[in-house]
Amino acid sequence: MTKRAIIGAKVFDGTRMHKDAALLLDDDVFDRILSAKDVPAEYRIIRATGGIILPGFVDLQVNGGGGVMFNDDPSVATLRTMSDAHAKTGTRAFLPTLITDTPDCLRAGVIAVEQAIDAGVPGIIGIHLEGPHLSNAKKGAHDPALIRPMEDADEAFLVDAASRIPNVMVTVAPESVTSEQIRRLAEAEIIVSLGHTDCTYAQARVAFAAGALCVTHLFNAMSQMTAREPGLVGAALDAAGVSAGLIADNIHVHASTMRSALSAKREQDAIFLVTDAMATAGSDITEFTLNGRKVHRVGGRLMLEDGTLAGADLDVASAIKTLVTYAEVSPADALRMATSIPAKVLHASGNVGHFVQGQPANAIHLGESFEYLGTP
Give the bridge partners for 363, in sequence order: 55
Helix runs in 266-330, H state only: 316-326
Active site residue 72: no
Q: Among residues 256, 207, 260, 200, which one has the least CA distance to residue 230?
A: 200
Q: Which of 31, 276, 313, 315 is catalytic?
A: 276
Q: Among residues 48, 21, 65, which one has the least CA distance to residue 316?
A: 65
Amino acid identity at 275: T
Q: Is 222 exposed, middle or buried (0-12, 13-18, 19+ CB in 10 A)?
A: buried
Contacts of 254 (CB under 8 A, 6+ apart): none
* Residue 85 CB neighbour total at 10 angstroms: 23
Give how far Cα 107 sits from Cα of 63, 141, 163, 183, Å: 16, 21, 14, 22
Give the bridge partners for 271, in sequence order: 244
- Enzyme catalytic residues: 276
